[in-house]
Chain A
Amino acid sequence: MKRIVITGLVGALVGMLSIPAQARIKLTTLPERETVRVDIKNGRFTLVEEERTVNLQQGRNQVDFSWANIGIDKDSIVFRVIKADGDVNVLNTNYPNNENALYWTVSAANAGPAVIRISYLIGNMSASASYQGIVENDEKSLLLQTYMTVQNTSGEDFGKCTVQPGVGKTTVRYFKNGERKRMLASKFTAVPIEKRFVFDPTVDQKRTRMYYRLLNDKENNMGEFPLPRGKVRLFIKEPKSDDDSVRSQAFLGEDWGAYTPLFAKLDLYVGVAQDVKVERFTMQPKGGPRKVVDELTCPRILMNGERTVTHPRFRHQRTRFRYRLQNFKTANGEPIPVPLTIQEHVDGEWIIENVEMKEILGERNDVTEKVIPHDKMFLAKRIDVNNVEFEIDLPPTTIKKKYDLFVTILRKHRRHNVEPIVYKD
Chain B
Amino acid sequence: MRRYLPIVVLLMLATAAFASVDLVTLPTRESTQLTIYNSEDITMVRENRLLTVKPGINRIQFSWANTLIDPTSIDFRILDHVDKVDLLDTTFPSGRNDALQWNINSRMGGKVPVEIRYFTSGITWKADYVGMANGDEDEMGLTGYVRVYNNSGELYDNAQVRLVVGTINLVEKIADLARRPAPGKGGRGYADRPEEEREVMRRDFSKAVALSCEAMPATSAPAKRPPKVVKQGLSEYFLFTIAGRQDIKNKEPKRLVALNVDGVPLKAIYKLSDRTGGRQFTKYFRFKNKKLLDRRGKEQDLPDMKNLGLSPLPDGMVRLFSEYANKDLAYVGGTTTKYVPIGDRVEVSVGADTDITMIRRVKDQGISNVIARQYKRRINDEFVMYYDLLDYDETFVYEEEIVSGKPMDVEAEIERRFDANVILWGSEGKPKDWDSDEAGAYVDLHEVESRIEKVDQNHVKYFLDMKPGRKWTVTYKVTYKRRKVGPELNPEKRRERL
Please give the distance in Å from B426's CB to the nearest CB on chain A: 12
Asked whether B167 lies within 8 Å of A272 as measured between CB atoms, the reply is yes
A50 adjacent to chain B (CB < 8 Å): no
Contacts A238-B239, A251-B119, A399-B343; A284 near B457 (Cβ below 8 A): yes
Asked whether A181 lies within 8 Å of B91 as measured between CB atoms, the reply is yes
For chain A, residues 141 to 159, give those with C-beta under 8 angstroms from any C-beta of chain B: 151, 153
Asked whether B171 lies within 8 Å of A256 as measured between CB atoms, the reply is yes
A328 to B313, CA, bound (A): 13
For chain A, residues 115 to 167, give those with C-beta under 8 angstroms from any C-beta of chain B: 124, 130, 132, 135, 139, 151, 153
Closest residue on chain A to residue B170 by CB atoms: A254
Q: A253-291: contact bitstring with B at CB < 8 Å (1 yes, 0 no)?
A: 111100000000000011111110100011110011110
Contacts A132-B75, A274-B236; A328 near B343 (Cβ below 8 A): yes
Query: What number of residue pairs across chains A and B have CB atoms under 8 A from each other?
Result: 194
Q: Chain B: how many interface residues by the 8 Å CB criterion?
A: 84
Asked whether A288 lies within 8 Å of B312 as measured between CB atoms, the reply is no
A183 to B87, CA, bound (A): 9
Q: Specify which of B423, B433, B488 lies most central, judged by the most chain A CB atoms within 10 Å of its CB.
A: B433
Please give the distance in Å from A249's CB to the nearest CB on chain B: 8
Asked whether A236 lies within 8 Å of B235 as measured between CB atoms, the reply is yes
* Contact with B184, one of A178, A254, A422 (Cβ below 8 angstroms): A178
Q: B233-244: contact bitstring with A at CB < 8 Å (1 yes, 0 no)?
A: 111110100000
For chain B, residues 456 to 474, give those with C-beta under 8 angstroms from any C-beta of chain A: 456-457, 463, 465
Asked whether A331 lies within 8 Å of B455 as measured between CB atoms, the reply is no
B354 adjacent to chain A (CB < 8 Å): no
A282 to B182, CA, bound (A): 50
Closest residue on chain A to residue B184 by CB atoms: A153
Asked whether B93 lies within 8 Å of A178 as measured between CB atoms, the reply is yes
* Contact with A289, one of B170, B439, B455 (Cβ below 8 angstroms): B439
Q: A92-131: contact bitstring with B at CB < 8 Å (1 yes, 0 no)?
A: 0000000000000000000000000000000010000010
Please give the distance in Å from B347's CB to the nearest CB on chain A: 11
A176 adjacent to chain B (CB < 8 Å): yes
A365 to B453, CA, bound (A): 9
Q: Specify which of B94, B115, B455, B495 lies most central, judged by the most chain A CB atoms within 10 Å of its CB.
A: B94
Contacts A178-B95, A330-B342; A270 near B169 (Cβ below 8 A): yes
Contacts A246-B79, A254-B171, A288-B436; A283 near B235 (Cβ below 8 A): no
A151: chain B residues within 8 A (beta carbon): 183-184
Closest residue on chain A to residue B162 by CB atoms: A250
B252: chain A residues within 8 A (beta carbon): none
Asked whether A275 lies within 8 Å of B342 as measured between CB atoms, the reply is yes
* Contact with A288, one of B169, B413, B432, B463 (Cβ below 8 angstroms): B432
B210 adjacent to chain A (CB < 8 Å): no
Contacts A132-B75, A251-B42, A288-B436; A178 near B186 (Cβ below 8 A): yes
Asked whether A252 lies within 8 Å of B438 as measured between CB atoms, the reply is no
Q: Specify which of B172, B234, B411 lies most central, judged by the most chain A CB atoms within 10 Å of its CB.
A: B234
B431 adjacent to chain A (CB < 8 Å): yes
* Contact with A210, one of B235, B239, B310, B345 (Cβ below 8 angstroms): B235
A250 to B168, CA, bound (A): 11
B166 adjacent to chain A (CB < 8 Å): yes
Asked whether A179 lies within 8 Å of B342 as measured between CB atoms, the reply is no
* Contact with A270, one of B75, B182, B236, B450 (Cβ below 8 angstroms): B236
Please give the distance in Å from A110's CB to the nearest CB on chain B: 35
Asked whether B440 lies within 8 Å of A255 as measured between CB atoms, the reply is no
* Contact with B89, one of A182, A245, A275 (Cβ below 8 angstroms): A182
A153 to B186, CA, bound (A): 8
A207 to B170, CA, bound (A): 16
Asked whether A275 lies within 8 Å of B312 as measured between CB atoms, the reply is yes
Asked whether B166 lies within 8 Å of A274 as measured between CB atoms, the reply is yes
Asked whether A283 lies within 8 Å of B456 as measured between CB atoms, the reply is yes
A231 adjacent to chain B (CB < 8 Å): yes
B115: chain A residues within 8 A (beta carbon): 246
Q: Chain A: how many interface residues by the 8 Å CB criterion?
A: 73
A339 adjacent to chain B (CB < 8 Å): no
A335 adjacent to chain B (CB < 8 Å): yes
Asked whether A335 lies within 8 Å of B235 as measured between CB atoms, the reply is no
Asked whether A330 lies within 8 Å of B438 as measured between CB atoms, the reply is no
B303 adjacent to chain A (CB < 8 Å): no
A367 adjacent to chain B (CB < 8 Å): yes
Asked whether A423 lies within 8 Å of B494 as measured between CB atoms, the reply is yes
A328 to B431, CA, bound (A): 35
A398 adjacent to chain B (CB < 8 Å): yes
Contacts A281-B455, A326-B344; A253 near B168 (Cβ below 8 A): yes
Closest residue on chain B to residue A182 by CB atoms: B90
Asked whether A289 lies within 8 Å of B35 as measured between CB atoms, the reply is no
B73 adjacent to chain A (CB < 8 Å): yes
A254 to B235, CA, bound (A): 14
B103: chain A residues within 8 A (beta carbon): 173
A52 adjacent to chain B (CB < 8 Å): no
Q: B413-455: contact bitstring with A at CB < 8 Å (1 yes, 0 no)?
A: 1000000011100000001110010111000000000110111
B486 adjacent to chain A (CB < 8 Å): no
A365 to B46, CA, bound (A): 53
Closest residue on chain A to residue B73 by CB atoms: A233
Asked whether A283 lies within 8 Å of B94 as measured between CB atoms, the reply is no
* Contact with A274, one of B73, B184, B341 (Cβ below 8 angstroms): B341
Asked whether A248 lies within 8 Å of B233 as measured between CB atoms, the reply is no
A225 adjacent to chain B (CB < 8 Å): no
A292 to B433, CA, bound (A): 13
Asked whether A284 lies within 8 Å of B451 as measured between CB atoms, the reply is no
Please give the distance in Å from B453's CB to the nearest CB on chain A: 8
Contacts A178-B93, A233-B73; A250 near B164 (Cβ below 8 A): yes
Contacts A151-B183, A179-B93, A289-B438; A420 near B494 (Cβ below 8 A): no
Q: A391-403: contact bitstring with B at CB < 8 Å (1 yes, 0 no)?
A: 0000000110000
Asked whether A275 lies within 8 Å of B341 as measured between CB atoms, the reply is yes
Asked whether A180 lies within 8 Å of B170 as measured between CB atoms, the reply is no
Asked whether B433 lies within 8 Å of A288 as measured between CB atoms, the reply is yes
Q: B486-498: contact bitstring with A at CB < 8 Å (1 yes, 0 no)?
A: 0010010011000
Asked whether B94 lies within 8 Å of A253 as measured between CB atoms, the reply is no
* Contact with B169, one of A238, A269, A367 (Cβ below 8 angstroms): A269
B92 adjacent to chain A (CB < 8 Å): yes
B33 adjacent to chain A (CB < 8 Å): yes
Q: Across the A-B interface, give the 7 residue pairs with the lowest CB-CB distance, nearest first.
A: A178-B94, A288-B433, A328-B341, A281-B456, A272-B167, A153-B184, A420-B491
What are 25 A-B pairs at a CB distance below 8 A?
Answer: A139-B235, A153-B186, A170-B89, A176-B94, A178-B95, A178-B184, A179-B93, A183-B89, A246-B115, A251-B35, A251-B42, A251-B44, A252-B235, A255-B171, A271-B235, A272-B39, A274-B312, A274-B339, A289-B438, A290-B436, A292-B438, A333-B310, A365-B451, A365-B463, A399-B344
Q: Which residues of A contact B (CB under 8 A)?
A: 124, 130, 132, 135, 139, 151, 153, 170, 172-174, 176-184, 207, 209-210, 231, 233, 236, 238-239, 245-246, 248-256, 269-275, 277, 281-284, 287-290, 292, 322, 326, 328-331, 333, 335, 364-365, 367, 398-399, 419-420, 422-423
